[in-house]
Structure 1
Amino acid sequence: MTHKEKLSAIRQQMKANGVAAYIIPSSDPHISEYLPDFYKCLYFASGFTGSAGTLVITQDFAGLWTDFRYFVQAGEQLKNSGYELVKLKVQHAPEYIQWLHDILDDHAVVAFNDKLLSVLLGELLEKQLADKQIVFKSYDFLDPIWAGRPALPTAPAFLIDEKYTGQSTASKLSALRQSLNTSKASHHFISSLDDIAWLFNIRGKDVSYNPVVLSFALISAENAALFIDPAKLSAEDTSTLHKAGVQVLPYDDIATSLAALPADSSVLIDPKRNCFGLYKQIPASATIIQELNPTTLFKALKNETEVENMRTAMVKDGIAMTRFFKWVEENIGKTKITELSAAEKLQGFRTEQDGFAGISFNTIAGFKGHGALPHYSATPESDSEVLSEGLFLVDSGGQYHYGTTDITRMIPMGNNTEEEKTDYTLVLKAMIEGSKTLYPKGTCGYQIDAICRRPLWDHAINYGHGTGHGIGFYLNVHEGPQVFNPTNVAIPVELGMVTSIEPGIYRPGKHGVRIENLVLTIKHSTNEFNEFYAFETLTLALIDTSLIQKDLLEKSHINWLNHYHQLVYEKLSPHLSADEQAWLKEKAKAI
């Protein structure tokens, strides 16, 4: 079926069931960012491959609401699909709810698959459409028309050793129960896969790039239940979990277990990371406590073992990046290099590193104008040859058994314009500005975000994505609760958090510039004014200096860069060949 035919089939089902509007979010029952193929509903329905967006369908209109990162991509992918692009004004905001309010009649029926809708979004729909007395129903209009729909993944799961995690499952459960006691919760229901992976020291291969396994968890003072396909666990791992006080139950038993909770239960749930359908299985008499999953913060505060392992991962990743940069320089003009072949070559260099377990997201390799698409993903149709001119943006990362990496670098290919040089220098200045910042305890991400943007604002330049996101430990490349973006999120940047700093400048059709490092929050000093924190840069890889316009930088930025390159050479050179050492030493020399 074409996308238009699918849209027509959805509308036929809507008409047969008296549905005025149908909502298809980009999600699964775990409210994940990256999805198993079974749940890639937006792609199936419309052809849009982005990781964030919402389809809303009526008999007269079908639209994709998505943000700045995907405007160009969505505009191209939605051609002849029957869907129109609706540009969000605020990233991740459900602005289509107001649109529905404006166009729907009173008592109209709005439908969605309630297993794909977060509790937060479900309640928001009910609240914002309440005055129109909208009727909400749950339907899956995709499954009946999805011929050959992929099955749920069946890859084995596995436990990881405490020498990597630094903390046992039993210890983590104890800390979680103390938090539940503080919140006066008798039970805690967890759907988010990375929280579950962290809590039970379990990893899997159910979702591309993220080493997680489809599962739910239900925790009380006396019991801890992990709902998972039992066939995914070895007998030894099942036994290990039992010894840690964990009961292993079938994945599909979660709904009946929630429904069987005592009538007087007090259940803690994270409304952003649990689905509306399972939430409604909890007895109506139970008290619901809506808070951030305690494990989300626990997971973000990396312990000493995790930090040391992540430092090792950064060295391994830096070796791969160095070899990749050298390969590009030595082969451009001699060997045909395309966006896809470059990404494949970089993955090959990472694969050579001990403990490599896969890439942490689909590599963004964007030459010239493609670099202006923040979440560009090269396809055989879009794959551009990389030539000896312009800018080549490469945003990539690796999963290692001892850490997760995410790095963006710009490779100047030659004949660069003054505009490219200026944009490159300003983005580098913004990244350094954030990296060298001292800040008092209690500082939140939006404050760091503004500090990073200031060098660009001084030139009336801005970018539409956040400045940084949390990084998991051999887990999701995007994790919270901290985030560096303009949203007034009252979550302080705390000791042990690992976060990206990645400002950018994007000129559609011309070029994009983004430079990204990962930083660890560390203690700096204590005085009569407060306890002050700083960032330790963890990423270890060359930042090209050939385009830098020194007059745009202050002495402190130049000193930071020179010190950083000295550190990069010291950490990486012992693992490189003599030829590679010489190449890196020349490239990383002080400016």
Structure 2
Amino acid sequence: MTFAEKLQALRQLMFAKKIDAYIITAADPHISEYLPAHYKAIPFACGFTGSAGTLVVTQDFAGLWTDSRYFTQAEAQLTGTGYELVRLKVPHTPEYISWLCDMLPRGAKVGFNYELITVALAQELQHNLAQNEIETIHVDFISDIWQDRVGLPVENAFLIDEEAAGLSISAKINEVRTVLSINKADYHLISSLDDIAWLFNLRGQDVDYNPVTLSFALITPEGVKLFIDKQKLSQTDIQTLNQQGVALHPYTEVATALKELPEDIRIFIDPKRTCFGLFECLPKGGKIISGINPSTNLKSLKNDTEIKHIRKAMLHDGVALTRFFKWMEERLGKEQITEWSAAEKLASFRAEQESFVGLSFNTIAGYNANGALPHYNVTAESNQEILDDGLFLVDSGGQYLYGTTDITRVMPIGKCSATQADDYTLVLKGLIEGSKLIFPEGTKGYQIDSICRKPLWEHAINFGHGTGHGIGFFLNVHEGPQNISPANVDVVFKPGMVTSIEPGIYRPGKHGVRIENLVLCVPGSSSEFGHFLTFETLTLCFIDTTIINKTLLSADQIEWLNQYNQMVFQKLQPMLLEEEAKWLKGKCQPV
């Protein structure tokens, strides 16, 4: 079926069921960012492959709501599908709700799959639509028309030992129970796969780039239930879980277990990480206590063992990146190198490193105009040869048994323009200002965001994505609860949090610049004005200085840059071959 034929089939089902509008979300029952192939409904329906978007279909309109990161990509992918791009004014907001309220008559019916939408979003939808006497209905039309749909993943899972995790499973469960007690909750449902992975020291291969396995967890006064396909685990791991007080149940039985809970329960859920379908299974007479999953907050504060391992991962990642950029510099002009082949070569250098498991996300390798697409995904059609001039942006990361990495660098090639040099320098200024920041306890991400953007704002330049996100420990490359963005997220930065800093400038059709490091929040100084925090930079890869415009950098910014590059050289030199160390030393010469 073509995309247009799928849309027609969808409308026929809507007509038969008297559904006036149908919503298709980018989600699974675990509200994951990266989805198993079984749940990639939006690419199936319209061909759009971005990670953020919502489809809304009526009998006379079909639209994709997405944000500025994907405007160019969406316009190209939606051509001829019957869907139109609807540009979000505010990223990560459900603006289609107000559109539905304006477009649908009273008495209309809106359908969506309750298993593929958060509690928070479903309740917002129901509340707003009810104001216009519009009804919401649970319906799954995608399964009816997706004839060759792949099944759920069945990859093996495994436990990481306490020596690697720093805490036992039972110790983590006790930490969660302490938070539940503070919130006067007896039960706790966990749906988010990275929270479950952290809590049970569990890793898997069910989702591309994220080392997680499909599962649910339920903490009760009597014990802990883990809903998972037991066939994925070894007998040794099953025994370890049982010894730690975890009872295993089939993955598909979670809904039944929720329906059997006592009517007077007090259950803690995260409304942004729990699907509405499971919420509807909870006893109607129970008390729902809403908040961020306790495990989300706990896993964001990396323990000493995790930090030690993360530093080790950064060393190996730095070696791979050094070898990649040396290879690029030496081979460009002597052999054909494309965005695709460069990304594959970088992956091969990472694969040579100790305890490498896989990539932490699909590598963004964009040359000149393609680098202006913040979430560019190279395809056979878009693949460009990297020639002898311009900017090559590489945003990449690795999953190691002892950590997760995420880094962006821009490689100047040949003669670059003054605009490219200025953009590169301004982005670097933003990175430096965030990296050397000293801030009081209680500071939130949106405050740090403005400091990173200030060098760009002074030149009337801005970018449409956040400045930073949390990073997991051999887990998801995007992790909460903290972030650095304009959004007023009510989460303060604390020692132990690992976060990216990645400002950027994007000139459509020309070039893009983004420079990204990971930083660890650490205690700073104290005074009569309170305790202060700062950042320790973890990422180890030189920052190219060949095209910087020194007139745009202050003396202290130049000092930070020189000290950073010198640190990179000193830490990586012992792990490099002699000729590699010599090459890196040249790249790390002070400005």
Q: Which amino acid aligns with 2:137?
A: K
Q: Distance in 2 between matches of 1:192 and 1:375?
A: 24
Question: d(CA) in 2 for partners of 1:310 and 1:90?
Answer: 34
Residue correspondence of structure 1 range 431-510 to structure 2 within 5 A:
431-510=431-510
Q: Distance in 1 between matches of 2:163 and 2:520?
A: 20
Shift of 1:351: 0.3
1:391 counterpart = 2:391: yes
SS at match of 2:115: coil
Alpha-carbon distance between aligned partners in 1 of 2:414 and 2:88, rounded to the nearest angstrom = 36
Q: What CA distance in whole angstroms lies between the structure 2 residues aligned with 1:162 and 1:563? A: 36
CA distance in 2, matches of 1:524, 1:145: 57
Question: 1:296 is paired with a residue of what secondary structure?
Answer: helix
State the match for 1:353 in structure 2: 353
Q: In the TM superposition, what is the alpha-carbon distance from 1:464 to its structure 2 partner?
A: 0.3
Alignment of 1:519-534 (within 5 A): 519-534=519-534
Deviation per CA, 1:271-295: give whole Å up to 9, x if none: 0000001110001011101111000
| Cα deviation code 1:431-455 (max 9, x no counterpart) | 0000000000000000000000000
Report Cα offsets for 1:88-139 as digits up to 9, x if no partner.
0111100000000000111111001110010000000011112112111111
Paired position in structure 2 for 1:206: 206
Kept after mapping to 1: 8 A contact 2:129/2:135:
no
- 1:46-75 Cα offsets, whole Å, 9 max, x none, are 000000000000001000000011000001
Root mean square deviation of aligned Cα: 0.5
C-alpha distance in 1, partners of 2:353/2:366? Answer: 25
The answer for the alignment partner of 2:411 in structure 1 is: 411
User: What corresponds to 2:344 in structure 1?
Assistant: 344
Aligned to 1:169: 169
CA distance in structure 2 between the partners assigned to 1:39 and 1:172 by the alignment: 30
8 Å contact kept, 2:269–2:290: yes
1:60 pairs with 2:60: yes
Paired position in structure 2 for 1:365: 365
Q: CA deviation at 1:148?
A: 1.3
User: Which AA in structure 1 matches 2:321?
Assistant: M
Counterpart of 1:21 in structure 2 is 21
Paired residues for 1:126-525 under 5 Å = 126-525=126-525
d(CA) in 2 for partners of 1:314, 1:112: 43
Structure 2: stretches of 5+ with no match in the other structure: none
> TM-score normalised to the size of structure 1?
1.00
Q: Shift in Å at residue 222 of structure 1?
A: 2.3
CA contact (8 A) 2:367 2:391 kept: yes
* Distance in structure 2 (CA, Å) of the matches to 1:499 and 1:263: 41
Partners of 1:225 and 1:439 in 2: CA distance: 41
How far residue 381 of structure 1 moved from its aligned partner, in angstroms, is: 1.0
Deviation digits for residues 532-552 of structure 1 (CA, Å, limit 9, x no counterpart):
000000000011000111110
Task: Give 1:40's aligned amino acid.
Answer: K
TM superposition shift of 1:425: 0.3
Task: Tell me how far apart the structure 1 counterparts of residues 404 and 531 of structure 2 sit (CA, whole Å).
Answer: 29
SS in structure 1 of the partner of residue 409 of structure 2: strand
Distance in 2 between the 1:187 and 1:339 partners?
Answer: 49
Instruction: Read off the aligned partner of 1:344 and give its amino acid letter.
Output: E
Task: Work out the CA distance in 1 between the residues paired with 2:65 and 2:42.
Answer: 11
Shift of 1:413: 1.1
What amino acid sits opposite 1:195 in the alignment?
D
Please state how far the C-alpha of 1:221 moved relative to its aligned partner.
2.9
Give the whole-Å Cα distance in 2 for the aligned partners of 1:294 and 1:544: 41
- Paired amino acid for 1:547: I
Q: Deviations over 1:247-275 (max 9, x none)?
A: 00000000000001111001100000000
Query: What percent of counterpart residues are identical?
Result: 59
1:282-339 CA distance string (max 9 Å, x none) = 0101110111100000010000000010000000000000000000000001111001
The residue that corresponds to 2:564 in the other structure is 564
The code of the aligned residue for 1:102 comes to D
CA distance in 2 between counterparts of 1:131 and 1:397 reads 46
**Runs of 5+ unmatched residues, structure 1:** none
Is 1:125 the counterpart of 2:146 in the alignment? Answer: no
Q: Distance in 2 between matches of 1:354 and 1:139?
A: 47
* Partners of 1:359 and 1:272 in 2: CA distance: 26
- d(CA) in 1 for partners of 2:220, 2:483: 30
Q: Which amino acid aligns with 2:174?
A: S
Structure 1 stretches of at least 4 aligned residues deviating more than 6 Å after TM superposition = none
The alpha carbon displacement at 1:140 in A equals 1.1
What secondary structure sits across from 2:489 in the alignment?
coil
Q: Distance in 2 between matches of 1:313 and 1:222?
A: 39
Q: Distance in 2 between matches of 1:127 and 1:138?
A: 15
Distance between the aligned counterparts of 1:139 and 1:220, measured in 2? 31
Structure 1 letter corresponding to 2:124: L
Matched letter for residue 296 of structure 2: T
CA distance in 2, matches of 1:392, 1:51: 23
Contact 1:177 1:221 in 2 (8 A): no
Asked if the contact 1:190/1:216 (under 8 Å) is kept, the reply is yes
Superposed, 1:527-542 pairs within 5 Å as 527-542=527-542
